[in-house]
Structures are given as structure tokens and as C-alpha cells.
Amino acid sequence: MKEDILNLFLELLEKWEDAEEVVIDDRGCLDDYDELEIRKEEYLNRINELLDKIK
């Protein structure tokens, strides 16, 4: 079950990242890619912490 939840989260995270990249490209501010990677890692850490609490 944890793996299913993680897979769904990763799928959603990928779609979110794709949408954010379009916005970044439209703005033309490549520095925002670094911020995007930081936010992505934070989300991954949070979901992993929550999944670790599930028995």
C-alpha cells in the first residue's frame, strides 16, 4: 500500500513539475529551476516521512 501511495505521489509530482517548468520557461527566469528542485526535494522528504509513519 505504501508503494502505491508513493507511486501516485510521484506521478502527481511529475505533472506538477512539468507545469512549473512551463511557467518558468514562460517567465524566462532560469534561476527558478533551482528553487523548483529544492521544493521537489522538500515534497519528497515530507511524503517519505509520512509513509514511514504508516505501519
Domain ranges of the chain: 2-53
| Contact between residue 14 and residue 8 where contact means Cβ atoms under 8 Å apart | no
pTM of the model as a whole = 0.82
For every one of its 55 residues, what pLDDT tens digit does the chain have, with 9 covering 90 and above?
899 999 999 999 999 999 999 999 998 888 889 999 999 999 999 999 999 999 7
Question: Could you give the count of Cα atoms lying within 13 Å of 35 in the half-sphere of its Cβ?
Answer: 8
Supply the DSSP symbol for 26: H
| Contact between residue 13 and residue 40 where contact means Cβ atoms under 8 Å apart | yes
Q: Which residue has the cell 502505491?
A: 4
